Structure 1
Amino acid sequence: MAEAEACPAFRLGGSRYDQGSFLGRLRHFVDIIDPSTLLVSETRLKESIKLLDDFKHGRLPTGVSDLQLWEAQKVKQATRSSCRSECQVIGLLLPNQTVVSTIIWQWLNQSHNACVNYANRNATKPTPTSRFLQGYLGAVTSAVSIAVGLKVLIDKANKLSPATRMIIQRLVPFPAVASANICNVALMRHNELSEGIDVLDADGKVVGSSKIAARHAIAETAFTRVVLPMPIFVLPPIIMSYLEGLRFLQTKRRLMLPIHSLVCLLTFGLSLPAAISLFPQMSQIEVSRLEPEIAMATDCKVVTYNKGL
């Protein structure tokens, strides 16, 4: 019985863990970003894809267990969804940033975020290329403006001690990235606000298109994007300011960057699954809170919509 609960019947495209609870979603995303999948060989990836294809077309070999199928899907999803944000995080948190380096790292980070938001949007409505460019330019402009503005203000604050100024400089990326992330999500998915997103009944049938549900979806996603960088940009500066004071590292400065990178990587690995697990991807909302025409089109009291990631 315990084994059945630990490994439920395989569902292609589904999740091994309960997506109705935060813990289940957390386990799901921790599974997807498992660093061991970075070592998966091309042969193992092809075998996993073939196994899933055999399952889809009813050609599954005898003796293949649900656990093997879940592992195959994990390999496929993890390989396609491998995150490359760690290097950007490290770059944003490097000490002694210049205006030019600040602009470059913020531009790289928001370019990545624009692609992530576009790829993980609710795609029930087509998004014009102009919307993508608008979101991209808006996010980059806001991030660079805030980051550079804060840096200039700190550089002019002569009353601050060098140690205090260093800590504040390292904390500057958080408000810059958080505000830019909100702009990025809102602008990249503005089409959903104007046209609405599909809401589904209990049978998965489209009931209608709701702008109110779209606002909820984007608000939840934007909140996630604010929570996500919080530990990443707050904890490493505090930890590194302490570590840099140790005599051991003062005599071995060459170890500073590897240790800094490791601290950022560990923090990122913890904060990413926790942040995107805050809300289920398939969220629910009461019909009474939506447009009157949707309430008239269904007898359901609650409908479902795809929030995106």
Structure 2
Amino acid sequence: MDPNLLYWKTKGQSFSSRLQTWLNLLDPTLLLASEPEIQKAHTLLGRVEDLGKEDEAAVTLSLSSVHDDSGAPLPLFFRAPAVIPFSGLMVVASLVPHSKVTLSLSWQFLLQSYWAGFNFANRNSSSEQQGAKTSLRQLVLMAGTISYTACVATLPQIMINRLNVRSPPIQTFCRTVLPIPLSAALAFFNVFAIRSDESETGIQVFDQHGNLVGVSKAAGKQAVKETALSRAVLFGTTAALPHLLLLLLKRTRLFQRNSLLIMPVRHASTLLFLSLMLPVSFSLFPQLGTIKKETLEEELQAGAAGPHLFYHRGL
């Protein structure tokens, strides 16, 4: 088991401890570290059993920059600290009502492309550890997922423009209400589709001592489901809270007299809620998940020691 996973096993089993850890891991300055520094931090995490306060920087760098299966540094754009700097503008622009379908589609395409890449880079890579390589099927599936989610996310704008909707209540519904469940559903689908191989081929499961027991499809399905749910919470909440905030602010005299304040407040609040919800969504489920022995495949139950096994959930 990778040193990162061993750390999550001892330190990341409660929501509060995971949240505190992710608040540190999302620091954008961690992106400035070089690959030799990252590898050194990862090696230190694997060698030192009793980590002190002087080792906290190395632990944070390793957890934020190294893949928990392969032990290799993650692509810079798809590390956890890079999410806000690289996708924050995309999220804000994708949730803002646009006058043209092409503009809305462009921002959705960029957003869905980034998160498809993030989901793929941070997946459970058990199949790659067994010698399998990224197949043409996976690349086609990724391209199809990006195209499908981008087009579906643009539906509210298409409905308004193509159907020539002029009714204010319907326009309000399409621009403010419909994007909320749509954002959550598409975020769920993006993870579910991009990481479908984990459910079909299975992922590695470990016993309580970190020893490899085998490959389980049941664990793969649970890992994908948990991650997809956490992503749906992230995008659904980020889409909903700015609208609720604006509904309250529009009742105040300040916003009734200064309607120009609405747009900058919408942008700033969307980015704020995204930043606040990101560590929460990453902390909803343990990074090193557990699965009951009886839910595993029969051939694995015989070799499993203890009532449950562990698996890398991915991010």
TM-score, L = length of structure 2: 0.77
236, 239, 264: which is aligned to 1:233?
Answer: 239
Q: Distance in 1 between matches of 2:213 and 2:43?
A: 34
**Number of aligned residue pairs:** 289
| Residue-by-residue CA offset, 1:66-110 (whole Å, 9 max, x unaligned) | 323213543565585321221111101213342112211111111
Paired position in structure 2 for 1:100: 102
Whether 1:22 aligns to 2:15 is yes
AA in 2 matched with 1:296: A
Paired position in structure 2 for 1:67: 53
Structure 2 counterparts to residues 186-225 of structure 1, below 5 A: 186-225=192-231
87, 98, 116: which is aligned to 2:89?
Answer: 87
How far the C-alpha of 1:21 sits from its partner, in A, is 0.7
Paired position in structure 2 for 1:161: 168
261, 265, 269: which is aligned to 1:259?
Answer: 265
119, 122, 131: which is aligned to 2:121?
Answer: 119
* SS of match in other structure, 2:180: helix
CA contact (8 A) 1:182 1:222 kept: yes
Structure 1 pair 138–308 and aligned structure 2 pair: CA distance change class (3 A):
same
**Alignment gaps of 5+ in structure 2:** 66-78
AA in 2 matched with 1:202: Q
Q: Distance in 1 between matches of 2:181 and 2:154?
A: 12
TM-score, L = length of structure 1: 0.78
Judge which range, 101-110 or 249-258, deviates more.
249-258
Q: Distance in 2 between matches of 1:277 and 1:53?
A: 21
Structure 1 pair 249–72 and aligned structure 2 pair: CA distance change class (3 A):
farther
RMSD: 3.5
Structure 2 counterparts to residues 230-309 of structure 1, below 5 A: 230-243=236-249, 248=254, 256-309=262-315
Q: Distance in 2 between matches of 1:181 and 1:135?
A: 16
CA contact (8 A) 1:285 1:302 kept: yes
* SS of match in other structure, 1:203: coil
Which structure has the larger Rg?
A: 1
Q: Distance in 2 between matches of 1:246 and 1:96?
A: 25
AA in 1 matched with 2:114: H
Q: Distance in 2 between matches of 1:272 and 1:137?
A: 25
How far the C-alpha of 1:17 sits from its partner, in A, is 8.5
AA in 2 matched with 1:20: Q
Q: Distance in 1 between matches of 2:134 and 2:143?
A: 15
Q: Distance in 2 between matches of 1:41 and 1:176?
A: 31
Q: Distance in 2 between matches of 1:67 and 1:105?
A: 43
Paired position in structure 1 for 2:149: 143
AA in 1 matched with 2:16: L
Structure 1 pair 108–71 and aligned structure 2 pair: CA distance change class (3 A):
same
CA contact (8 A) 2:45 2:58 kept: no
* SS of match in other structure, 1:228: helix
Q: Distance in 1 between matches of 2:62 and 2:190?
A: 28
* Percent identity over paired residues: 27
Judge which range, 260-269 or 106-115, deviates more.
260-269
How far the C-alpha of 1:130 sits from its partner, in A, is 2.3
Q: Distance in 2 between matches of 1:53 and 1:278?
A: 25
Whether 1:181 aligns to 2:187 is yes
CA contact (8 A) 1:138 1:183 kept: no
